[in-house]
Structure 1
Amino acid sequence: MTESLETISHDLNIKTEVISLGWTAALARAPQIEITSEKFKPERPKVVSLTCSGPKIGVKSFVFPEAPAWLRSLEKKAAPKKEASDEPAADEEASSKPKAKRVTHIRPPGDVIKLEDRLYYLLQPSLESLVSSGAMEFPFEPFPYQFEGIAFLYPRHAAVMADEMGLGKTMQAISTMRMLLRAGELRSVLLVCPKPLVSNWKREFNLWAPEIPISVIEGDSAKRSWLWRDNQTPVKIANYELLMRDHELVSEEGGLHFDLVVLDEAQRIKNTASTTAEIAKGIPRTRSWALTGTPIENSTDDLVGVFEFLAPGLLTKGMNIKAMSSTANEYIIRRTKDLVMTDMPPRLYRDAELQLSPAQQEAYEFAEKEGIVRLEEMGQELTVQHVFELVLRLKQICNFDPRTGESAKMDQLKADLEEVAASGKKAILFSQWTRTIEEIRKHVEPFGPLEYHGKIPHKQREGVIDQFKHDPSKHVILMSYGAGSVGLNLQFCEYVFLFDRWWNPAIEDQAINRAHRIGAAGAVTISRYLAMGTIEDRINKVLEEKRELFNTLFSETEEPTKVGFSKDEILGLFDLRSPKGPIRFAA
């Protein structure tokens, strides 16, 4: 029997309704806010004045950290201080000057923000206390404006010392480096300068920072590589030409790093596209200083070139002059002689001690050896005139090499005249020989030279002086001591160059007084050129010891008199020995 199945279907749809609740509808309505205002009348705050009665805080002196090894070893060897009566006359004169009334403090640069960093500078005593307390010894006390220059350089990682020539940029830079080295803020310094100035920097370091070891980068490639990597001397001196040869060593790939790099005559890098500028910018360093008396020679682009070394990108070409001035002002210090006249004497002496060029050195050594042999062969027949002839010959070689025309003095002179011309000033150059003056003129034509010596007819001389005074393109007049030492008033000149030295200091003084006299335009800077390690150097030292005797011996204004001057003394100029007895004077 089959059962039948019954199927029943059901509707599974669920009916839903959407009901709008009150809080969802309220989302579309603007809320109603009730505001109730109340007047608030608090008591006014009171200011109470408190008087601090605690002891005044003052800083009495500089405290340097433990000295580095090179300084400790030198201090152990240091000689005891001399008594006041034993000090050189120059120091006595310097110490007799009235003490500066103002004091100079190191002020933090504008980019120093941290309070502790600013306090480091603000709590330091005055720089003058370095001298008065004896914390650091100076050959003589710097002038107030020089203290200001030191205070400017000390805290800055980028700076331009742009003082006018003769105000002591070298001294200010060395003194600041000395302080930073002794304070432990510097461990390695690289100074780059033109080749003729290397010996001058060495001499200035020995004068102003005698305890600081220095090394000059020189010699063959192996020696230079060792000197570059030697970490026993904190200061290294290199010239620009050598920097180009050793550019791989001083680049980042060379592995060297300097706490400070100083560029002297920094206008050398004004052309940003030059190889010298590129190498200088690539030296790994923490601080960068530039020394130049002419930061702008042709256009503001020159300053941009210098700042590409100091702070790349800070100044740009085509920048508005006003904007450039305000931006660079924090990094530049510039003083001219007229601004600091009250701080300095009317005369500033600047001794340029130079090394002969290779050709000059070769010619000098040959002439000296040959001349000495002849003098030795004369024996008792030797006269002052014979020695004098050899001296004059050697002095002329110190001016120019007779074969090649090379001249270390000329290289220095051209660098100095660039600065004179750039500042719109005028200079007098003195030499003993007319032939030397004529040779000098060939090399200084860009500076509008004029000649004034015995070959110039007397009728034309007044016109030469008048042209020199009124023509702004004439920056230097070349004079012989004889023609230019008497009867001229050139007080509009602020620079005097003694290309070679006269035997009688009185004649030199008369020549210098052509510019340094009542009504002078400003302080007169006298640059005296001296070839080191030559007869010029030796005679200069003997003249200090026997000034009166040598004035008589070599003066052209009076006949030499018979004096008890031994052959050994005069031949000592050439390290010769001779038979005993007084030397004869030729009739």
Structure 2
Amino acid sequence: MVMDEQLLEIYELCPAIDCDEISLVASSGVRSLPAFDRPLQITTREVGLLKGLPWVRTLGKLSVEVSTQGWRFPSPDDPLPEAAPRPDKPKNEPAQARAKTRVKPPSDMVMFKDRLLYLLQPPLENLFANKQVELPFPPYPYQIKGIAFLMPRYAALIADEMGLGKTAQVIIALRLLFQSGLIHRALIVCPKPLVVNWTRELKLWAADLPYEVLGGDVSARKAQWYASKCPVKLVNYELLTRDEDFVGDPEVHFDIVVLDEAQRIKNRESKAARVARSISRDRSWAMTGTPIENRIDDLINLFAFIDPDRVPPDTPVKLLPELTRDAILRRVKEEVMTDMPPKVIQDVYLDLSPAQRASYDLAESEGVIHLNELGETVTVQHVFELVLRLKQICNFDPRTGDSAKLEQIVADMDEVAENGRKAIVFSQWVEPLETLAQALQPFGPMQYHGKIPQRERQPILDRFKTDKSKHVLLMSYGTGSVGLNLQFTNYVFLFDRWWNPAIEDQAINRAHRIGQKETVFVKRFICQDTIEGRIAEVLEKKRQLFEEMLGQNGPPPSLGLNEDEIFALFDVRPRGKRQTG
């Protein structure tokens, strides 16, 4: 029998007496077979390994006659043969070329045939290096590990820090699953502003994979849900919830459902979460850089979609790291992108202008008096209303328009523009951004927030990137913190602080992400002796808790502020909760 030499180098035949199939065992060569008392008869059947996948060899029917032989070991008087010289190992071989990343089955995959299917695959580096799957450029080593993590899993949460290319990893993994014949229908759900980004990424990383974007009127969408044979469907969360009746029909089945920015379903009772859980599917993947935004319940609620049996709603917090370890992949830039330019974060403490200070002190004293007068009827909402009022005064004085932050940002923008750089300014409100647009006219400001129509947003980003006279982009956290690639900017200014450190990180990482060639400078403006300083302390504590949980060094009790902590911002509490005695 003539057998492929390469195959002989990979496998050896280990026959069992009176067996009807052969087993394949990884080996460096075909060893001799021992002599048996009776003749061996081996019948074989065709063994197909992931048929249709270009990177897996299919074994045809083998007809083999096995002969045995013995070896004569040398006697003590016989000279031992000289060993052949071992070839020298390349010394300067790149680390990536030496890397061998194999697809390993998850711990909960117990069927031998399922585990064998993945264990027999060659390293992914071989696949990409041999151009058997065409890619525009090679993935980073950590991205290859992410692809290997995703492929065998029916339940997975990829929680890489923003900017590490989660979308590319998911698309390549999907493409390999399609080519192997393991999946045939996929649904990708993402926020509406990210649909354009997903279409671009699909064209880039999986040009041979057909997709369609769901849209149009109800009848058109119904046809897309039921009749369309397109293998990949892309839909935004708004349309997904609107088409609840279609999506929840068992006839609309998908081999895999991927949720991008999966923190959208962190509220278990929300319609988006309910509809997502109702989709008939085999595999459930979720993508988010912020699996825990406020409370540990965020993670538990994500697993209500990913794998509800793994993490029931009443799971004790202390068990979460162990239960979720095999289903979560989380990397940060400092861990995997050692050659990436640094991110320099600076807290800039400013003194309020005299007019701002007078307005602030008056508003705070009146507000605290009002909270105390409410007595037992005071609520968290009352406290938040005062917080928002004081934060707005820290931005601009309501009577005079004075702003210490504006003076600072004008000075910073002088330097940015003089050096031919670009900057992003984030605020949680549209009104300050509109005021800044007037004050920053010499720097060609452009606005990107909720008041800008959806159809105009991408052209704004395109012009900001290419027009050398446009040095500053004014963005709201709500529209600019998710899914945008702005790595051509080098400066990020947080004009005011968001309640959640994860949202701030998302905003910053619009600039500090793959493709960034230079250091990113981040300035967070904080007015001294104001509510902003107290909020900054709370944010830092929440950030530490977030890192502890995802680092699996022991889960924190909560990432959210409890009622006592909120009232403590102003040293007040409902009278019914005051300690006595």
TM-score (norm 2): 0.49
Higher Rg: 1
What TM-score results when the alignment is normalised by the length of structure 1? 0.48
